[in-house]
């Protein structure tokens, strides 16, 4: 039966054969097994038969029922991605990388959005993801809670935490950049350019923020510089918080800041410019989390950049090949937002 016929018959209220392998088998005068083989391009049947069957399937408007197929074969070739934080935009690059690589490896991606660090919904979402019998779960998150990780790890399903890690729990595997090194790298860059009073703006109170803070402290200490608690300001990595937090450093207490994220940096830049400041003369900014596209969002910003797209790629490979936790390297992209200062004596 032709596709056109299908519509016509349906319109006329005529009975129509649902396109299933059973009906294809009947139409082709073969068994369902043969149809199944033909449609799966197995090589153990006569090419002519295979071709004829596929032709008929096409004409009947057949589309495989994935649910049935998965149930019977006990294979899903699916990766579940949980997105748990969209305040800052790094998830986009990661998801993009995941989608690309998954497709290369013939895997489906099923995406779950779990709200912004909403613990209850995250728990629920992790459970939903588990119901899909995926090959594994990739979790792009801003903060981790014990409860969710526990669900994941007791579920007997491979998973990776993306862009977040907990050194105290090495058993929870991750693909991330090294936040301590990032904090250190950014701070050292400013120190080398002569800055001594350096702020850290927009980090959070959880793992990621504290790791970056630790790196910052390590760099300052190694350089023999004092740290004033009033130089540290907390936020949620968002553009809005970046704009708000400018007021916290408006007193001129620091000559340079490490911005906790690309977005925080952009917000600071915007607020400072609006306040009539000339940058980088009055304030040097280096941001963390810059991605490939950060030239667009903040062309002027020197940044410790992570290749999030690559992180997505690596995550998929790491998950499917059962590799150990790994750090994604970071690069420093210099632009004109950092002012070299004469070294003080």
* Residues constituting the chain: 345
Bridge partner list, 326: 175
Bridge partner list, 258: 200, 286
105 binds its own copies (CB under 8 A): no
Alpha-carbon distance of 94 to 115, in angstroms, equals 17
275 binds DNA (CB under 7 A): no
Kindly tell me which residue out of 14, 33, 222, 275 binds DNA, with binding defined by CB under 7 A.
33
309 binds its own copies (CB under 8 A): no
Name which of residues 58 to 77 contact its own copies (CB under 8 A).
Answer: 61, 63-68, 70-71, 76
Query: In whole angstroms, how close is the CB of 202 to DNA at the nearest point?
Result: 45
Looking at the Cβ atoms of 132 and 244, the one nearer to its own copies is: 132
The residue ranges of DSSP E strands in the chain, in sequence order, are 78-83, 108-113, 136-140, 159-162, 174-177, 198-203, 232-234, 256-259, 284-290, 302-306, 326-328, 330-333
Stretch that binds DNA, among 13-21, 227-235, 245-253, 282-290 (CB under 7 A): 13-21
3-state secondary structure of 259: strand
- CB atoms under 10 Å from CB of 293, counted, come to 13
**Residue owning tokens 């903060």:** 143
Alpha-carbon distance of 176 to 158, in angstroms, equals 17
78 binds DNA (CB under 7 A): no
58 binds DNA (CB under 7 A): no
Looking at the Cβ atoms of 32 and 96, the one nearer to DNA is: 32
44 binds DNA (CB under 7 A): yes
CA angle 137, 39, 133 (to 5 degrees): 20
81 binds DNA (CB under 7 A): no
154 binds its own copies (CB under 8 A): yes
Q: Which residues bind its own copies (CB under 8 A)?
A: 3, 6-7, 61, 63-68, 70-71, 76, 83, 86, 89, 92, 96, 99-100, 103, 108-113, 127-128, 130-133, 154-156, 239, 263, 266, 270, 293, 295-297, 299
């Amino acid at each position: 039966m032709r596709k056109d016929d299908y519509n016509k018959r349906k319109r006329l209220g005529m009975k129509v054969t649902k396109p299933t392998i059973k009906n294809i088998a009947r139409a082709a005068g073969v068994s369902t097994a043969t149809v199944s083989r033909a449609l799966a391009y197995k090589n153990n049947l006569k090419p002519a038969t295979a071709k004829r069957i596929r032709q008929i399937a096409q004409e009947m408007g057949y589309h495989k029922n994935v649910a049935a197929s998965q149930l019977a074969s006990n294979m899903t070739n699916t990766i579940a991605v949980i997105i748990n934080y969209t305040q800052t935009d790094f998830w986009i690059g990661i998801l993009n990388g995941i989608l690309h690589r998954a497709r290369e490896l013939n895997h489906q991606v099923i995406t779950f959005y779990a709200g912004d660090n909403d613990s209850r919904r995250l728990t629920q979402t992790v459970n939903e993801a588990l119901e899909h019998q995926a090959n594994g779960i990739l979790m792009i998150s801003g903060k981790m809670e014990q409860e969710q990780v526990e669900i994941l790890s007791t579920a007997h399903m491979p998973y990776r935490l993306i862009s977040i890690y907990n050194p105290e729990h090495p058993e929870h595997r991750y693909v991330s950049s090294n936040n301590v090194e990032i904090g250190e790298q950014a701070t050292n860059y400013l120190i080398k350019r002569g800055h001594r009073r350096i702020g850290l703006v927009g980090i959070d109170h959880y793992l990621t923020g504290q790791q970056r803070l630790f790196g910052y402290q390590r760099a300052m200490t190694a350089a023999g510089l004092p740290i004033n608690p009033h130089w540290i300001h907390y936020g949620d990595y968002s553009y809005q918080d970046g704009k708000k937090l400018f007021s916290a450093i408006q007193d001129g207490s620091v000559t340079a800041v490490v911005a906790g994220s690309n977005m925080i940096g952009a917000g600071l830049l915007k607020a400072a410019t609006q306040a009539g400041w000339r940058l980088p003369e009055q304030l040097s900014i280096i941001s963390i989390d810059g991605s490939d596209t950060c030239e667009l969002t903040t062309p002027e910003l020197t940044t410790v950049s992570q290749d999030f797209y690559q992180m997505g790629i690596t995550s998929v490979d790491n998950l499917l090949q059962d590799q150990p936790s790994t750090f994604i390297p970071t690069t420093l992209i210099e632009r004109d937002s950092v002012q070299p200062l004469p070294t003080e004596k």
